[in-house]
A and B are shown apart, each in its own frame.
Chain A
Amino acid sequence: MLVDRILSRLLQAIPTLAGVAVIVFVLVRVVPGNPIAMMLPPGATQADIERLKALYGFDKSIAEQFLIWTSHALFGDFGISISLRQSVMGLVFSKLPATLELVLLATMVAVSLGVSLAVVGTRFQSEWPEAVIDGLTGFVQSVPDFIWSLALILVLGVLFPVLPISGRSDPRIGLNYATPFQLTESLVRLDARAFFDIFRHMIMPALALALPFAAIVARVLKSSLAEEMTQDYVLLARVKGFSEWRVIVGEALRNAAIPTVILTGVQFTFLIGGTVLVERIFSYPGIGNLAIDAVLNRDLPLIQGLVLVFAVLFITINLLLDFATVALNPKLSHG
């Protein structure tokens, strides 16, 4: 049953990915600004332009280019980046782990903060802490992540310089990692110095991403908890003499969590796309930064590769989300 479900979802993903591939391929070639014009030397003649077009395959029709690209992409060859002159997939997979680690950390922070605020807000319903939490979450949510980035840099990077402002690790350390999952690898290797160095570099970007996300989690979960707190089983728990904290955390939280889990999954996918500005501000070497460079340089093969990887990530996360939701509420598995 589960296997059928997974296979069905994977089959559904094929036309989605094909559609994304076609749209992106055509779109990046239709919008003004092509990479050939950007690399034209001062004295270029029409012959030079034609030669460069031929060199990068832009002398063929879009349909021909697409067929050539697809025939290679099916075998995992997404071409060579025009600006970086390296394999597209090699580049993407060397930078994706940095983004995934950042987004995971941000999600952990956001969920921890959001759940804590929601629980405290529920515990002190109609009292001043709830009002403070509501005001705080409203404010935090309304400030976009790039503003948080700048504010954090100002406070924790300049006024009280306790955290590094840019990069993923201190360039003065000569560490060689076997994998691009540097934070995870340093943890596995029990290399405390490397771990804390990377971790320190991730604190500000992760917080910038996490704060608005945490506010959303807090608001949604608090609302779900408020609904659950009116249910009979909660009344029963109170009658049994459970403390209010135990009623909220031990009884109501699990049932109230489903919308938050779904929200977290959706936000996680948005967060991967949303790292672009934050990575830029903190010079964090993830795929967000890579994507900006690709767009600025009109690096068409790299843009295509990045968008497809984003699409695959979105589909995979949504798939996992479906199963997580069913696991939390088995009734959903029966349709």
Chain B
Amino acid sequence: MQLTRRGLMIGSAAAAVVAPAFRFDQAFAGTDKLTIAYHVSLPSFDPTTGPSAVNPTIQSIYQSVFDLFIDQAPDLAQAPGIIEKWGYSDDKSQIWMQVRKGVVWHDGSPLTPEDVVWSLERAGNKDSGNPIQFIWSKASNFKIDGQKVTADMKEYEPTYFKWMSFLTGYILPKAYYTKVGAEGFEAKPVGSGPYMVDQFDRNAFLRLKANPNYWKGKPAIDTVIFKFVTDASSRVAEIESGSSDVTLEIPYEEFDRLKGKAGLQGITTPISDIGMIFITDVEPMLDKNVRLALSMSIDKKAIVDQLLHGYGVPLNTLQAPQYSAYDASIVVPYDPKKAAELMAASGYSKDKPVKFRIQTTRGFKPKDYEMVQAIAGMWRKIGAEAEIEVYEIAKHYELRATHKLAPAAFYNWGNSIGDPSTSTGFSMFGLSPHCAWHGKDTQDMIGPLWGEKDEAKRIAGYKAVDKYIADNGEVIPLLQYVQPILFKDTVKVTPHVSGALLPGMMT
């Protein structure tokens, strides 16, 4: 090929136009910017209303822009936040809260006790669309005295303050929200959290700027970008290529491959998310022998070691070790021999197996389908033939709410406040729409605990419920999930047991 003068000039002109675009990555590289390849996109900015408000996976973003009423440490313990101190009156008929002074909203206006009261009253209003309205509505008749807020409890709710660190427990700016309305707030959200919204491109990215006036001090990283990369293999590519600084929720085998790669680090943390199998009170699960045999024949450790590469914590109850009602003494042994004997006692064997369906998602949680396949294989050895049905998570919710789940159904249950009412309580109380097992004994045991005023007695009560459930095989807890986080070695990441990936805690 001959290089002509004309060709050279055209080539040079083209290069001059194109070159700045291709130098772009380097021009913007810097330690004051952090890009997170995030696994879900943000549907809505209001953290208190609609379906996204109860979506645990986007709380990282909400907690970056907004403040929870009460802060939550990485180990799930509550810590002073906008509400510095809190408590119940001696007779538990009232609550009180001390609101922190000197906090400002992103627009520079002061955060006041009026904002706290307005947020709580709005959350408790049944027309607000707050999914946790049933908790928030238990307090009313709010009064403000300086920085102190008091309210009456219509009925005692032991978890009222715990919910202040949980789903929908966020403070919103009364004056700003009232002025701009719901649509205006979606277009330009204002919070008091460590980061301010700079630009949002739906399904593409959210760019945040550090809040210089944050009450805990300005975050270490100036600009944080949540890049919404919903495909796991693309997230792996993002971190491997260096396009993103941090990512999470990637396949464990990829995590193992990349964590030792030069320039990358990986951490894993057991989080408040439990893999379990719902048992529905229909045939053949009405037979206690069958239920116990199914429970005892699952080698949870083998599942964790072989399918999840060791990233999981086998469980015997619906409480993870970080939860307040965790009881290590409750054990459902892995005993396939005993399981086979129980099946035989009910007339079932490998030659004459009991047949039923088990439902599961596929790809919704790490190795969900593969786990169920492995479990079905273990069950086959004791005389249980489980036909696997794959369904979407939306179908699971509907079937569960209408008590139409299959006799066994795989699911994961999150509980980032670690309270037993939000794990065993809601999932095993017969009158809850989320309960698959409607046993009266369990219902009668849980019922009085909802309003139990003695906290020690309440926790002990839930431990007793968990023991009863384990002894009767009314649910099969499998394991506590472990969250893998990969990041460049130039970043320091503090994991949170809730599973939230908080840039405010990164340096």
Contact = CB atoms under 8 A, between A and B. Distances in A.
Interface stretch (A128-136, A154-162, A233-241, A245-253): A154-162
A145 to B, nearest CB: 14
Interface string A292-326: 01001110000000000000000000000000000
Contact of A158 (B131, B237, B400): B237
Interface in B128-171: 129, 131-135, 167
Nearest to B168: A41
B494 to A, nearest CB: 23
Given A40-B433, A44-B432, A192-B21, A158 B50 contact: no
A170 B24 contact: yes
A38 interface: yes
Interface stretch (A17-25, A47-55, A112-120): A47-55
B205 to A, nearest CB: 4
A261 B183 CA distance: 44
Contact of B234 (A45, A86, A166): A166
B231 interface: yes
B207 A43 contact: no
B422 interface: yes
Contact of A296 (B35, B135, B394): B394
User: Taking each of A82, A164, A165, A196, which has the highest tally of chain B beta carbons within 10 Å of its own beta carbon?
Assistant: A165
A186 B18 CA distance: 14
A7 interface: no
B313 interface: no
Contacts of B51: 35, 38-39, 82-83, 297
A37 B241 contact: no
Interface string A46-75: 101101000100000000000000000000
B397 A282 contact: no
User: Taking each of B35, B394, B402, which has the highest tally of chain A beta carbons within 10 Å of its own beta carbon?
Assistant: B394
Interface in A262-304: 280-285, 289-290, 293, 296-298
A33 B43 contact: no
A172 B33 contact: yes
B41 interface: yes
A327 interface: no
Nearest to B42: A84
Contacts of B35: 171-172
B33 A83 contact: no
A123 interface: no
B399 A32 contact: yes
A101 to B, nearest CB: 14
A39 B50 contact: yes
Nearest to A46: B433
A42 B163 CA distance: 12
Given A42-B434, A45-B431, A174 B240 contact: no
Contact of A283 (B228, B391, B397): B228
Contacts of A174: 198-199, 207
B458 interface: no
Interface residues of B, number: 74
A35 B131 CA distance: 13
User: For chain A, which range describes its interface: under 10, 10 to 19, 20 to 34, or 35 or more residues?
Assistant: 35 or more
A165 B238 contact: yes
A164 B227 CA distance: 12
Nearest to B235: A166
A37 B243 CA distance: 38
A44 B433 contact: yes
A196 B18 contact: yes
A55 B127 CA distance: 8
B17 interface: yes
Contacts of B397: 33, 37-38, 40
B238 A38 contact: no
Contact of B54 (A39, A49, A55, A199): A39
Contact of B395 (A32, A86, A172): A32
A85 B237 contact: no
Contacts of B425: 42-43
A254 B198 CA distance: 52
A40 B204 contact: no
Contact of A82 (B25, B50, B135, B229): B50
Contacts of A280: 230-231
Interface string B396-420: 0111111000000000000000000
A201 B153 CA distance: 55
A138 to B, nearest CB: 26
A290 B203 contact: yes
B470 to A, nearest CB: 21
B134 A161 contact: no
A150 B233 contact: yes
B52 interface: yes
A85 B398 contact: no
A163 to B, nearest CB: 10
B227 A283 contact: yes
Given A165-B229, A167-B204, A193-B24, 16 more contacts: A32-B394, A41-B133, A42-B434, A44-B433, A44-B434, A45-B134, A49-B433, A83-B51, A164-B243, A165-B243, A192-B21, A195-B21, A197-B21, A200-B22, A282-B234, A283-B203
Interface of B: 17-18, 20-22, 24-25, 28, 33, 35, 37, 41, 43-44, 46, 49-52, 54, 126-127, 129, 131-135, 167, 182-183, 186, 198-199, 201-205, 207, 223, 225, 227-231, 233-234, 237-238, 240-243, 391-395, 397-402, 422, 425-427, 431-434
Interface of A: 32-46, 48-49, 51, 55, 82-86, 91, 94-95, 150, 153-154, 157-158, 161, 164-174, 192-193, 195-197, 199-200, 280-285, 289-290, 293, 296-298
11 contacts: A35-B51, A44-B134, A45-B134, A85-B43, A157-B237, A158-B241, A171-B201, A192-B21, A197-B24, A283-B234, A285-B203
The 9 A-B pairs at the shortest CB distance, nearest first, are namely: A196-B21, A33-B394, A42-B426, A171-B205, A37-B397, A39-B51, A285-B203, A285-B204, A37-B398
